[in-house]
Structure 1
Amino acid sequence: MMTNLFSIFDPSTNLLFLPLNWISTFIGLMFIPYSFWLIPNRYYFFWNLILNKLHKEFKMLLGNNPNNNGSTFIFISMFTFILFNNFLGLFPYIFTSTSHLTLSLSISLPLWLSFMFYGWINNTQHMFIHMIPQGTPGILMPFMVLIETISNIIRPGTLAVRLTANMIAGHLLMTLLSGTGPNLPYYFIMILVIVQILLLILESAVAIIQSYVIAILTTLYSSEVN
């Protein structure tokens, strides 16, 4: 029986009619107890090094505004959450929650709305100035305001679609290739296995890059309202 190709992304596993696939979103919490060990291990040192690097980079992007103290923890937490969900989706039989707009839009939209409310309430003049780049001719100002407004409104959608599309594309390609395995000769199966391993390495890199890109872009959007 032929099924829809995108059915691999549907949350269909259930117990007593309760969907269980979304529980995979919280599996990343299992890694937190490592940071509470009395004697830190190599995993803790490695992860702490990454978080410190991200903290310094996000702090540099946000500037020295005292109102931004502690803001980096929001973006570091978001980076960690997306990274764990991207990686866990590469394991067999674990649902990839970041391949759904339900999750990615739920992350980007509230953050964008909070930035907009904060900027327009506290820095109204700065938000108006930001709509017109310096040196814009007077005749082009209405068009620039319209373009900047549209580009600002679609930001949460572009963040969510970027993450979702990149996660779906790799998983679909791996599914399509694996589905051709039973129909291939034995010598082609070895080539298919090598290609799948290379794709898995590529998807691991995409999982890291996409979580970093989402965190960096959100930090830049936050710095624009101050």
Structure 2
Amino acid sequence: MANLFSVFDPSTSWGYPLNWLSSFLGLSLLPYLYWFTPSRFTLLWSHFFLMLHRELGVILGRSNLKATFIFITLFTFILFNNFLGLIPYVFTSTSHLVVTLGFALPLWLGFMFYGWVNHTLHMLAHLVPQGTPPVLMPFMVCIETVSNLIRPGTLAVRLAANMIAGHLLLTLLGNQGPNLGSFLLSLLILLQILLLALESAVAVIQSYVFAVLSTLYCSEVG
């Protein structure tokens, strides 16, 4: 099992964890956008961003419409790192809680600080759902407080666990290749391709879920 999880170990032969630099590979592609004429791919990407901006804007409301760009940027960065992990021999940074918790915790702390400083009564009202019987109010305050405190942890663990699960399954099946015959090897390759397509869908879905949940948490403090 130690060898199995070693694929997620951020270490290189130079003795320094340079694997974390894979998250910044997208920055090397940005200058080229100024020299390319708009293609169908860029127009499709812009149309997708516009749809995401409208959907997140519905959650935040018209007063906080500009805040959607923060969550669109977060979605793009997580999506890029998720897809980078599907490339062979490229480090998957989003499979580590160091990265995912680094996304979730500062956002949550910022939301909580802003909400409790500027909208204290609104935050207190969220601790007791509407229609709660007076007898259950102390218990609901405890439950809502705990559920609020674990939000950054659930965001981080959800993303990291989904990335780890798919990569472990691909690694386990790939290690069986040298021990199989030609027919079973062909079936294994077909199964690996299907799992790779599934992991591509998971990469998009988990990025979208992370961005939408962060937007929902932001809308609750305003």
Same topology, TM > 0.5: yes
Q: Give the secondary structure class of the aligned counterpart of 2:209.
A: helix
Deviation for aligned residue 1:36: 2.4
Q: Give the secondary structure class of the aligned counterpart of 2:66.
A: coil
Q: Which residue of 2 aligns with 1:182?
A: 178
Which of the numbers 111, 126, 151 marks the counterpart of 2:122? 126
Is the 1:62–1:220 Cα contact (8 Å) retained in structure 2?
yes
Mapped pair 1:86 → 2:85? no
Number of residues of Structure 1 aligned to a counterpart in Structure 2 = 222
Deviation for aligned residue 1:218: 0.1
Distance 1:22 1:38, change over 3 A: closer
Deviation for aligned residue 1:43: 2.1
**What fraction of aligned residue pairs are identical, expressed as a percent?**
63
Residue by residue, what CA displacement relative to the aligned partner does 1:106-138 show, whole Å, maximum 9, x if unpaired?
Answer: 000000000000000000000000111111000
TM-score, with structure 1 as normaliser: 0.95
Residue by residue, what CA displacement relative to the aligned partner does 1:70-106 show, whole Å, maximum 9, x if unpaired?
Answer: 2111000000000000001100110000000000000
Which of the numbers 21, 29, 35 marks the counterpart of 1:23? 21
Q: What residue ranges of structure 1 are gaps of 5+ in the alignment?
A: none
Q: Give the secondary structure class of the aligned counterpart of 1:94.
A: coil
Matches within 5 A, 1:33-182: 33-37=31-35, 39-65=37-63, 68-182=64-178
Q: Give the secondary structure class of the aligned counterpart of 2:147.
A: helix
Aligned equivalents of 2:28, 2:165: Cα separation in 1: 27
Q: Which residue of 1 aligns with 2:201?
A: 205
Aligned equivalents of 1:224, 1:174: Cα separation in 2: 39
Q: What residue ranges of structure 2 are gaps of 5+ in the alignment?
A: none
Is the 1:97–1:103 Cα contact (8 Å) retained in structure 2?
yes
After superposition, the CA RMSD in angstroms is 1.3
Distance 1:14 1:23, change over 3 A: farther
Instruction: Say which structure is richer in helix.
Output: 2
